[in-house]
Amino acid sequence: MITYNERERIFKLDTPDTTYMIGIVDEENFIGHIYYGKRLKEAEASYLMRTQEPPFVPSTNNRERCSFYDCFPFEYPTSGVGDYREGCIGIRTAAGHVGSMLSYVSHEILEGKPELEGLPATFGSEQDCMTLKLICEDRHVGMQVELLYTVFHDTDVITRSAKVTNTGREYFYLTKICSACIDMDNRDFDMISLHGSWARERHIQRKALGYGIQSVSSCRGESSHQDHPFLALADKHATQENGEIYAMNFVYSGNFRAQAEVTQFDSVRMTMGIHPENFCWKLECGESFQAPEAVMVYTDKGFDAMTQTFHRLYRKHLIRGEYKDKKRPILINNWEATYFDFNTDKLLSIAREASKLGIEMLVMDDGWFGNRSSDNCALGDWKVNENKINGGLKYLVDEVNKLGMKFGIWFEPEMISPDSDLYRAHPDWAFAIPGRPGTESRQQFVLDLSRQEIVDYIYEQVASVLRSANIEYVKWDMNRQLTDIGSCGLPADRQGELYHRYVLAVYQMQDRLTREFPHLLLENCSGGGARFDPGMLYYSPQIWCSDDTDAIERLEIQEGTALIYPLSTIGAHVSDCPNHTVGRVTPFETRGIVALAGTFGYELDVTKIPVEDREMIPAQVAMYHKYNDLIREGDYYRIASYAQNRKYDCWQVVSGDKKQALVTFVQVMNRANFKSRRILLKGLDGEKRYRVEFVNDDSVEDQIYSGDTLMKAGLLVPNPWGDFKARLISLTEA
C-alpha cells in the first residue's frame, strides 16, 4: 500500500509488517527520509527529520544552508553544494562543474511494477505490488531524476531504482549513480557482509560499525568471488530469531559498491549502487540512464526472517521461466571426471552407467570445440571438434537421449583465447588499451561486448550449436575478471561506459537465449561463484555456487549463499575424493546430504568410483526426489553454524503448511566422551505432533513429539562415530 498525505506532504509505503516514509520539506521541496521500520498506523513522524532544530530549513535560516545540507536526512543525496557525506549521484557538466541538488517536482502511484529497460529486476502484477514514481530535478543542471519504489503485498520488501534524464540544453557526465539510500540514526549497529575468494566464496563477516565509511565493493567487472553485492546493518544483539536488521541486495552483475557511513552526528547513511571508479556515462540532451535495482529488507525478527523474506521474493518475483517452480533434473557433469581427456565413447560410457543409477542428464563440459585440448586455446571457436566428438554432436545427444537422459553443454561465450581462429581474424575484438600489452588471465582475453556486432556474432555461434541438437541445459561460464578496459568502438569521452555496457550486453545475450530457447535450463557460472547475484538469477534459476565441491568447505559457502538466496538456486554436486580442490576425503553419504541443500547432481566418473559409493547413488537419487519439493519451496532456518562453532553445522527447511520438515545435521569433528547433542528445532506448529525419522540411521527408532516440545526442549542427535558424518532427519505430521 502506498499513500500520499497532501497536507503533511508525506509518502507512506506499507508492506505487511513494515513502513517506509518520505517527506517533502521547505519551499524548495527537499526530499527527506523519515522512517523505515515496523509498520506504523499513521503518517505522523515528520518530526524525525529534525527540521525544527538548528540549523533549521534554508527558508528560515539561509545563512546556515551548508549546515542544513550536511545533516538533513536526504532521501536521495547529491554532492558538491554542502552535503559532505557520500552522495548517491555525481555529475560533471560540460563546463566541468560538479555540484547538484534535487527538489521534488511531482509523483505517480501505480498499480504493479514497471520494467527496467535492459536490466533484470523483480516483477509483479497489479495484484502483487504498487509503485511510487517520485520525480525530482536540478533545474540548474537540467537534470531530472525519477526515483522508483515498489512495495510487494505478500512480503516485507521494498525495491528501489533511479533513472536520470538530461533535460537541459547541453550534455553532462554522470560520474556516480546509486540505486538506494537510507539515512537514519545510528543504533550501535553491526555490519554484515559476505567475503571470500575463488573456492571459498560468500563467507559471512560480522563486525561492529564504526565512524567513517565502511564498504564492500567490486571493480572486477563482475560481482566477484571477493565481495558480494549485499550489506546488512544489524542490532548488535541480533540473532537468528530476534533483532532489527536493515539489508540491501543489488540486482546487478558488474562493479558495485555498498557502504555504510557513520557521521559526526551519529547518523548512518547506507547506500548501494554501481561503483563510481572508472564509471562515467555521457548523457546528451534528452538521453536517460537507468540504474539497476536494489532490494531492501527490514525485519525485527532476526536473520531467519530476513533470509526467508529474500527467498520468497526471489522465488516468486525474480526467477522466471520453465524451471521457476519445477524440480531440476539430476545431472552428471564430466569435468572432474575427465577434464579435457574425453571423446564420444567416454561420455557415453559415463552416461550408460549414470542412467542405470537414476541420473537424468549428462553435461559435457569444457573441451568439445575447436582445438580445445587444454585451457589455453580456442575460446571463441564455437565449432564442434568432430575428431573428439566423433560422429558429431547430434549423434552424441541422440544416443544420450536414447538412454532416457537429457543432454547439456558448457560455453564460455564472453571470452577469447589469443590462440584461436577468432582472435587471429579479429584481434580488435578483445578489450585492449592501445599500445599496452594485454593482461592475460587463464591465457585468455575478454571480448568487447560493448560492440553489437561482436554480441551478435557470439550469440549466433552459441545458438547455432543449440539448434543443431536436442540440448536442454547450458552452463554459461566466465572464468576471468575484466582488465584492459578500452574499446575501439567508443570515442574517448565514452570509454568510462565500458564496464556497464559490458554487463548490459551479457544481459542482452542471456535474454535472447532464454527467449529463443524457452525450455532451456540455464545455469550461470563464473569460475564457480564469482557472479552469483540477483541479476544472473533473473535469467538462470540456478548458479554454480563454487568450484570447491568439498562437502566440508561447502558448509560455509552454502551457509553464506543461503543467507540471501533460495536453496533451489545453489548449484551443488557430489564430487570425487580426494577432493580436487583441498584433497580432503569425506564419506560419499555426507557428500550427498550436503549437496541435497542445492540443485543436486554429480561431478565424477561413475565408472571408476568405488562400488560401495556407486551403490549409494540410487538411494541418493530417491532421496532427492522425495525431499526436493520441500527443499525448493520451504522456509529455511539456520540452527547452528560450523563457521562459528567449528564443530558441527545444522539447518532446517519447513513446508509452508508446517506439516513437513527436514533437518540436516553435519558433525564435522567428533567429540570424545560426550553425550548426544541437543538441537532446538524451528518453524514448526506447536500444536501439531510430528513423527521424527533419522533417514540414514537405522539405529535410531522413529519417535513422535509435539512441535512445541521439539522447538522448546529440543531433539537429541546421537553422536555419529567419526568426523565428517551427516544425519538427515525427516519430520512429518503424525
Classify each residue of 535-566 as buried b or exposed e, where b means 16 or more C-beta atoms within 10 Å of its C-beta. Answer: bbbbbbbbbbbbbbbbbbbbbbbbbbbbbbbb
Inter-residue contact 248 to 230 (CB < 8 Å): yes
- Rounded to the nearest angstrom, the gap between the alpha carbon of residue 76 and the centroid of all alpha carbons in its chain is 24
Inter-residue contact 184 to 36 (CB < 8 Å): yes
Cα 344 to Cα 355: distance, rounded to the nearest angstrom: 16
Please, which residues have CB within 8 angstroms of residue 617's CB and are 6 or more apart in sequence? 357, 358, 359, 602, 606
522: which DSSP letter? E
Length of the chain: 734
Q: Which residues are bridge partners to 399 per DSSP? A: none
Classify each residue of 360-371 as buried b or exposed e, where b means 16 or more C-beta atoms within 10 Å of its C-beta. Answer: bbbbbbbbbbbb
Inter-residue contact 545 to 575 (CB < 8 Å): no
46: which DSSP letter? G
Cα 616 to Cα 169: distance, rounded to the nearest angstrom: 71
Q: Is 300 a catalytic residue?
A: no
Q: Which residues are bridge partners to 577 per DSSP? A: none
Marked catalytic residue, from 227, 448, 477, 605 = 477
427: which DSSP letter? G
Cα 381 to Cα 379: distance, rounded to the nearest angstrom: 6
Q: Which residue reads 552535503 in cell numbers? A: 83
Query: Taking every pair of C-alpha atoms in the chain, what is the biggest distance, in angstroms?
Result: 83
Q: Is 477 a catalytic residue?
A: yes
Inter-residue contact 684 to 661 (CB < 8 Å): yes
Q: What angle do CA 500, 102, 65 make, to 5 degrees?
A: 130
Marked catalytic residue, from 547, 548, 576, 635 = 547
Instruction: List the catalytic residues.
Output: 477, 547
